[in-house]
Structure 1
Amino acid sequence: MENKQKIADYKDVRVILVKLVDRLYNLKTADVYALEKQKRIVEETLIFTSHWDKWLSWVL
Structure 2
Amino acid sequence: MLVIQRVKHRDTEAIHAKLDELLEVNGDAKNEFMSIDAEEVERESPNLLARHRLASGTAGPVS
Quickly name the TM-score band, shorter chain normalised: 0.3 to 0.5
| TM-score, length of structure 1 as denominator length | 0.36
Which one has the largest radius of gyration?
2
| TM-score, length of structure 2 as denominator length | 0.35
For CA contacts below 8 A with separation 6 or more, give which structure has more relative contact order: 1
Greater fraction helix: 1
